[in-house]
Structure 1
């Protein structure tokens, strides 16, 4: 809630990601696209001479307090509650401890060490709000996911986000100098569902590492990941939880086999990821579903892999399915397309932006509709080849360098034109003697 005018060029920012480390393996626990986003953006900002300190919670005794990722990018692990055994839902009770850790770091640094705070996800926003206010710098916040959006698109049997999260998000929206949305649609959701000031909402689309995710030989990729060269590989990549809807792909694959029995001898359904969120409560749910549908022998579960191996899986696939019920952007879709793999995705959230005209969008999650969409790709080799070419062209329009450049512009605007203190806050401060204001 800064009212300080910009006094110098932006040198260093404090980036806050409380609940998941940017160094964590995406696809495990709560790590996903946000982890990739935060780390890639930090690297690109550092290459623009904007140093980034990434604050995250310590989750293992083996984690060093400070990790230099590359010059200008430092990850700081802060103790906030037990290292292990805390779920994301437990973390609101640890925000005070986390904030105290940030204050201690700043106390040992020169005055004015941080020029701006950029928080990611609402838990980080609560801490970022305090830090920015204490340091007298702007707060920039990126939601990544929003409770009110998720609750509008719940999967069957999934649990709604709690009221406390909605309230916490609304507070961060009110406090932030700038709000960064991944897409125009997310920007509208911030304005319509959270009453955000349109003048304080900016869009910065995520990127993709085109040096890692690029087209390659499907046969070579299949040899590396152990998939037969003549297989029909339908691939899901992501955290295994109701929100991401891998069950939609499994059900659609069973329907495909029913329609086309000739596929049974060649079809492989790859599920690449780890249990997360409410999916942890029933880790065998997908396996049991595949057994009930009679295709357990066709489904292959693969634990999360590093980025180079992930690119091989994308290249090996005939298509990548992204059937999420809610998705702020859909990084998996762009990564797959960058590898020249057609994408079939749910027509929700940011996926229309991520997929663009290069993929197939499916309205809803009906099994028959999804089976038809999958069949439209694997049953039409010529059309699939066209999708592959247009996918590469579409993905080339996304880059982390562009994302970082847009964020740098948002940071500069926040420093040059900070949000004014609301009238009720100004009246409150007016009654306090200046000497006691820190």
Structure 2
């Protein structure tokens, strides 16, 4: 996922995406203008929700749709740039989002931008698509406000939580249609030969940063890798058996993180899916995880589970993987689960649903 060179300053209208390279995807005969509203985007912001979104937008661009992502927060980028055939328009470009959305065929949003994007789409009579990564009531209240054409859940458990929320609020209007698209991970982008480190990606408290440093202190004979995350207050320490590195962009994760990792830790307190864990599975890296509904669904039988507050359970899980036969069995399960999570069918259903709007 590498951006094309940023364009010059420019004023409206926004330039169309450059011609796309030849693709196995058959071009549509009815291209749509798809406007997406989110707060931040790769390559400057590499969180799971944004990476999943661009994995979903790429096949739409390959089909010949004009896909534009308009950012609502200031970031490092100032000028529009192309990423995987998708035009990204930073807030600092000062281009007119209101003018763009008036000419959209479909509007897509997620997280904090759902209320405003849904209202604009509703006002202009444009089909609105909400991507649901968590069961935040404020999002579902706005989804229920009237004209949401499609809700995309990232997991079965999140769909069940949303169904329960709608059942408890009979005055809320259920969206016309919903599908499940598990955060797409293309195994070939991440597969490598595992290394020798015990790794945590994102050192904030919600991701288990505190537990990570306790484990490293209790296991001084083992080598750890601490990767700073894209968001949240990072918990930083200085231990001789820990390599601490800065945030790593998505296209460098394979070589700079997974190629150094023997065991991945995911002691997240809350995790609606767990993209990092699925990326690690592609290399046969065993994942020790807190059994949140999302991680349990994502990792399945390949996961090794320990409660987030049970330090001894985490130590025992790591020590068990010292045995080569135990590690190999866990690695085999990881590779099998990676194959089961091939995103092709989910993405085909997603493209079909968008094109039917």
Change (3 A) 1:346 1:241: same
Give the one of 59, 72, 82 matched to 1:44.
59
Change (3 A) 1:62 1:347: closer
What is aligned with 2:9? none
2:239 is equivalent to residue 270 of structure 1: no
Residues 236-295 of structure 1, C-alpha deviations (whole Å, 9 max, x = no match):
013x3221112222223434x3xxxxxx34x12211024733x2xxx5x441xx7xxxxx
Gaps of 5+ in 2: 1-28
2:19 is equivalent to residue 24 of structure 1: no
Give the one of 310, 314, 328 matched to 1:385.
328
Change (3 A) 1:23 1:401: farther
2:91 is equivalent to residue 78 of structure 1: yes
What is aligned with 1:213? 190
Q: 1:211 is paired with a residue of what secondary structure? A: helix
Larger radius of gyration: 1
Q: Any conservation in 1 of the 2:35–2:101 contact (CA below 8 Å)?
A: no
The Cα shift of 1:347 comes to 0.4
Change (3 A) 1:10 1:136: farther
Task: Give the whole-Å Cα distance in 2 for the aligned partners of 1:60 and 1:347.
Answer: 34
What is aligned with 1:335? 279
Change (3 A) 1:53 1:350: same
What is aligned with 2:181? 204
Task: Give the whole-Å Cα distance in 1 for the aligned partners of 2:251 and 2:179.
Answer: 32
Change (3 A) 1:354 1:125: same
Q: Any conservation in 2 of the 1:120–1:141 contact (CA below 8 Å)?
A: yes
Q: 2:270 is paired with a residue of what secondary structure? A: coil
Q: Any conservation in 1 of the 2:40–2:73 contact (CA below 8 Å)?
A: no
Q: 2:188 is paired with a residue of what secondary structure? A: coil
Structure with the higher helix share, 1 or 2: 1
Q: Any conservation in 2 of the 1:330–1:354 contact (CA below 8 Å)?
A: yes
Please report the TM-score for the alignment, with normalisation by the length of structure 1.
Answer: 0.67
| Count of residue pairs the alignment pairs up | 322
What is aligned with 2:143? 172
What is aligned with 1:130? 119
CA RMSD of aligned residues (A): 2.7
Give the one of 198, 205, 210 matched to 1:234.
198
The Cα shift of 1:411 comes to 2.7
Q: Any conservation in 2 of the 1:346–1:361 contact (CA below 8 Å)?
A: yes
Q: Any conservation in 2 of the 1:55–1:102 contact (CA below 8 Å)?
A: yes
Q: 1:328 is paired with a residue of what secondary structure? A: coil
